[in-house]
Structure 1
Amino acid sequence: MKRIGIDVGGTNTDAVLIDGDKVISTIKFPTTADVMHGVVNAINKVMADQPADAKPVDAVMIGTTHFTNAVVERSRLERVAAIRIAMPAGASLPPMVDWPEELRDEVDPLSFMVEGGHEYDGRPLVPLDKNAIREAAKKIRDAGITSVGITALFSPLTTECEDEAAEIVRSIIPDVRVTCSNTLGRIGLLERENVTLLNAALQGLGQRTVDSFGKALVEAGISAPFYLTQNDGTVVLAEVAAANPVYSFASGPTNSMRGAAFLTGLKEAMVIDVGGTTSDVGCLINGFPREANNVVEVGGVRTLFRMPDLLPFALGGGTIVNPETGQVGPRSVGYRITEKALVFGGDVLTATDIAVAAGLVEIGDRDRVKHLDQSFVQTTLKRINSMVEDNVDRMKTSAENVNVIAVGGGAFLIPEKIKGVSEVLNVEHAGIANALGAAMAQVSGEVDQVFSGLSREEALAAAEKMARDRAIEAGAAPDSIDLLDTEDIPIAYLPGDARRVRVKVVGNITL
């Protein structure tokens, strides 16, 4: 299968053309202000040397930071309506109560709290107030809001209230976009509501982004279907991704981790992805990123949903080094490294300059860093090495030595010897591992919810079927789907042999 993988980062845009497992061509260049123009350029450059009779591209996979950036920058977000079905029990803390003020002001929520929801054991708390839902929908319509997030108490246990509320809202606002919390989050009400409302606020941007990428592909002469990368190391059809943009949070580092697995053949290892501004440390489990099982903050908002377990720290190729004190970071020149770094004719001392002066890499004009005192260079390298060691140690789950795969454009900053590490692997194409991870990614389907009234075998079977259906909806070929991971945890305080079941499947994309 011939595929193009593109990863648009804050510093660089990387692209790769692969045919099966063979890398045909690669490109790395600074990200431009006009991201879509950069995508067209990336495609044109990796396709430049293709003969006229070459077979066409089967699919394009794109990783983007659009959605994370929108939350962090507090921009391009839609006004949303929040419907919480949890009264009278859930009245004390209103929706978005823990959001940063400037982000809450940007989203400007119209909130409604109505009676309904369920108890922890699946019993109805009180009957759903359908009239209140109808009245809320009318006010939402009159306010001109087209994106709604619905959250009900214990909806991962039973989706009844959210499903019924969504149906009522759609009957009054036909063109509304509805996000139900049971499709995204876990049992914690506030964290689940938070990610639901983030998703609702991003859906308009999601559709605009997908439309823009589609136009960019047409401009580049590509008619193949395209996918967006997800934060579990897989891809999903672009239209599906537009409806669930929060699943693209942190997709860049996960692309790099999948690319690291592809390049080395290792399924269990630690990965350090060194970009232009930051580095991310993560763990591969069975060839996929380890998933975080705790609260993750996105742009200052507490969430609890499917996210990779990553530890970012301020070290990248563009990290600024203080020439007087030797302090490394946390500021970076970012995508302006090719104009600001000393080796490129600039006037800012960066980590890349230190690496070039130490002979670790040949980039730019080495003569421009010959004036650096070698004792200063070596002292700075020790500081960098210490940063790497500390963060690797923080991510380890045992005292045993592990393998570390260094990837990313700044992988040359990772030392050859790290305490607690058996081997540091540096491989060909490590600099564009993120684009490779996007290009060779599969499609996933995942279920993480509570089942009750079923035996363990019945619950696992039901969850697997749901996961397979979701994978097919996301673009997986039905006959290629494999079970990747299964986990079930009995919940003693719930009746009916209740258990939390998590099932994940992966499959190849449908052509």
Structure 2
Amino acid sequence: MGVYRVGIDVGGTHTDAVLLDEKNTVIAETKSPTTEDVATGIYHAMHKIISDANVPRDQIHYAMLGTTHCTNAIVERKRLNHIAVVRIGAPATLAVKPLIGVPEDLREALGKHVYLVRGGHEFDGREITALDTHYLFQIAREVKGKVDSIAITSVFSPVSQDHEHRASEIFREVLGDEVAISLSSEIGSVGLLERENATILNAAVVNVAKTAAEGFIQALENEGIKARVFFGQNDGTLMSVDYAVKYPIFTVACGPTNSLRGASYLSQLSDAIVVDVGGTTSDAGVLVNSFPRESSLAVEIGGARTNFRMPDLISIGLGGGTIVRIRDNGEFTIGPDSVGYRLPEKGLIFGGDTLTTTDVAVALGKVELGDPEKVAHLDKKVMQQVYGRMVEMVEEAIDKMKTSAAPVPVILVGGGSVLLPDSLKGASRVIRPEHSGVANAIGSAIAQVSGQIEKIYVLDEIGREQALESAKSQAKQEAIKAGADPGSLVIVDIEDVPLAYLPGNATRIRVKAAGELGRMPVASI
């Protein structure tokens, strides 16, 4: 009896789907337009691969979803939650307000309800000042009915989470369970402003993630598939649906991460630069030992600096559906907005009224698609300039990702990669692997499962070695529960933060273990 897995990646423009057997061979693949309600696009893509492959539905044991919905919502400033931003850090942090340095349009969208509350901790865990619970109750009553998601950030909360947890309890009490609450100590690392931004963005995309999750589960049920469902996350591993809806920010880079993993798998290259050209954005990332290089710096998402676990990526507003605007004097702009999944109705070559990057490539004979007659009237000279700038944008992104001037292999993946030429400045060679259009769905299907544990240990009682062993063993158990094969588990991340403010030489240990999906589905725990 076979064990099959479905990998799906929902982009702004296309929903890609693949069906793999237990040897990770592609049995079926498809690209179908992403739909406004998400579910329909997923359903069409899934129905197509399952019908094409003609595999018994009860042999499909796993379904993995990677989605760029959260990223696109942030980049396009659309479909965001109504949020309240609560920083616990007065009077110490009054000089620098929340959302400082964030682009004005994003600040306007997310900064309608911003509050600074007395409280917070020092770097060693001592309280700066007592938490102003009275003001928190007042804020909760004030925002009731106006917001559906709250971002809470306290000074040095990665060291002491007390004030964030107490604030969360107060909001729960007043607002009930319907309002989503994001705590910075669970999302970012030390560095107040970047951690706060990451938490604000997490709070802003909860509804987007929920819609994607419900759409995926519904699509599986419609097909009569009882598979275990996982979401792709930024580090290239999988997480459960509940976790994904609580921490949607951890999915923001899973599309490009999946593409990087898929590109590595398809090209059999472990070290290269990957450019993933979607419908809305192009993402450039670096493969090191077959995994994405991680960012050691603050990462910008939609213009906001953040500091959680992210692959080192550059995302530019250039995709297959990116809108090109040409002024009367011949000057032009490319993006950053995109017609996205509506390319087949909006693009000129399909009889629409919007000039896109795809139309430019067709007008110049670079791509065969749609009706070239519909773009024959465009000024070739201007089109050449626009196309030249498009290629330059990608070359600049590649250049920024390199650690030296030496040329490196560049792997092109994603549906929009057909727009790019066969040679690029800075590339030793340009590789377009087979199945490259669905590299992201393949990356999502071959991903490993991870389990994570975070605990405070008193080292005077247990000793550091024993504490680490205990945490590792628990992380492995979590990964096994999530469906990992016990024989393939490896520890992929360890963080050990001494807690000087607690007696008995305490330390907070966070360990992540990851492994291949187990052969047989494990009953849900």
TM-score normalized with structure 2 length: 0.79
- Corresponding residue to 1:258 among 235, 256, 261: 261
Q: Is the 8 A contact 1:343 1:364 kept in 2?
A: yes
Match of 2:117 in 1: 113
- C-alpha deviations, 1:449-504, integer Å up to 9, x for none? 999989986786577567657656765455542133568999xxxxx999999865
5 Å matches for 1:334-413? Answer: 334-339=340-345, 341=347, 344=350, 351-352=357-358, 355=361, 361-364=367-370, 384-413=390-419
**Partners of 2:162 and 2:475 in 1: CA distance:** 19
**Partners of 1:40 and 1:337 in 2: CA distance:** 20
Structure 1 gaps, min length 5: 491-495
- Corresponding residue to 1:441 among 419, 439, 447: 447
Match of 1:279 in 2: 282
Match of 1:4 in 2: 6
Q: Is the 8 A contact 2:87 2:98 kept in 1?
A: yes
**Partners of 2:362 and 2:263 in 1: CA distance:** 24
Match of 1:506 in 2: 514
Task: After TM superposition, give the deviation of residue 165 of structure 1 in Å.
Answer: 4.8
**Partners of 1:15 and 1:298 in 2: CA distance:** 26
- Corresponding residue to 2:301 among 294, 298, 302: 298
- C-alpha deviations, 1:34-68, integer Å up to 9, x for none? 32111111111111134374653112212223323
Task: After TM superposition, give the deviation of residue 430 of structure 1 in Å.
Answer: 0.5
After superposition, the Cα gap between the structure-2 partners of 1:465 and 1:177, relative to the gap in structure 1 and judged at 3 Å, is farther
**Partners of 1:154 and 1:464 in 2: CA distance:** 25
Match of 2:426 in 1: 420
CA RMSD of aligned residues (A): 4.2
Match of 1:189 in 2: 192
Q: Is the 8 A contact 1:157 1:449 kept in 2?
A: no
Amino acid at match of 2:492: L
**Partners of 1:149 and 1:354 in 2: CA distance:** 42
79-88 or 186-195: bigger deviation: 79-88
- Corresponding residue to 1:18 among 11, 20, 34: 20
Match of 1:493 in 2: none
Q: Is the 8 A contact 1:112 1:136 kept in 2?
A: no
Task: After TM superposition, give the deviation of residue 376 of structure 1 in Å.
Answer: 8.3
**Partners of 2:381 and 2:101 in 1: CA distance:** 48
Q: Is the 8 A contact 1:3 1:60 kept in 2?
A: yes
**Partners of 2:439 and 2:217 in 1: CA distance:** 24
Match of 2:501 in 1: none
- Corresponding residue to 1:484 among 471, 492, 495: 492
**Partners of 2:209 and 2:358 in 1: CA distance:** 35
**Partners of 2:426 and 2:77 in 1: CA distance:** 40
Q: Is the 8 A contact 2:136 2:167 kept in 1?
A: no
Match of 1:431 in 2: 437
Secondary structure of the structure 2 residue equivalent to 1:281: strand
- C-alpha deviations, 1:395-420, integer Å up to 9, x for none? 10123332111111122333333343
Q: Is the 8 A contact 1:134 1:169 kept in 2?
A: no
Q: Is the 8 A contact 1:138 1:172 kept in 2?
A: no
Amino acid at match of 2:69: H
Amino acid at match of 2:436: A
**Partners of 1:421 and 1:489 in 2: CA distance:** 41
Amino acid at match of 1:407: V
Q: Is the 8 A contact 1:295 1:302 kept in 2?
A: yes
After superposition, the Cα gap between the structure-2 partners of 1:288 and 1:134, relative to the gap in structure 1 and judged at 3 Å, is farther
**Partners of 1:461 and 1:190 in 2: CA distance:** 34
Match of 2:89 in 1: 86
Structure 2 gaps, min length 5: 499-503
Secondary structure of the structure 1 residue equivalent to 2:234: coil
74-83 or 1-10: bigger deviation: 74-83
Secondary structure of the structure 2 residue equivalent to 1:399: coil
368-377 or 55-64: bigger deviation: 368-377
15-24 or 230-239: bigger deviation: 230-239
Q: Is the 8 A contact 1:156 1:450 kept in 2?
A: no
Task: After TM superposition, give the deviation of residue 244 of structure 1 in Å.
Answer: 0.5
Secondary structure of the structure 2 residue equivalent to 1:262: helix
Secondary structure of the structure 1 residue equivalent to 2:415: coil
After superposition, the Cα gap between the structure-2 partners of 1:96 and 1:412, relative to the gap in structure 1 and judged at 3 Å, is closer
5 Å matches for 1:462-481? Answer: 464=472, 468=476, 471=479, 476-477=484-485, 479-481=487-489
**Partners of 1:305 and 1:448 in 2: CA distance:** 16
Amino acid at match of 1:92: A
241-250 or 168-177: bigger deviation: 168-177
Count of residues in correspondence between the two structures: 503
After superposition, the Cα gap between the structure-2 partners of 1:191 and 1:451, relative to the gap in structure 1 and judged at 3 Å, is farther
208-217 or 353-362: bigger deviation: 353-362
Task: After TM superposition, give the deviation of residue 272 of structure 1 in Å.
Answer: 0.8
Match of 2:334 in 1: 329
After superposition, the Cα gap between the structure-2 partners of 1:68 and 1:315, relative to the gap in structure 1 and judged at 3 Å, is closer
**Partners of 1:39 and 1:421 in 2: CA distance:** 35
Match of 1:162 in 2: 164
- C-alpha deviations, 1:186-207, integer Å up to 9, x for none? 1111221222233234334433
Secondary structure of the structure 2 residue equivalent to 1:226: strand
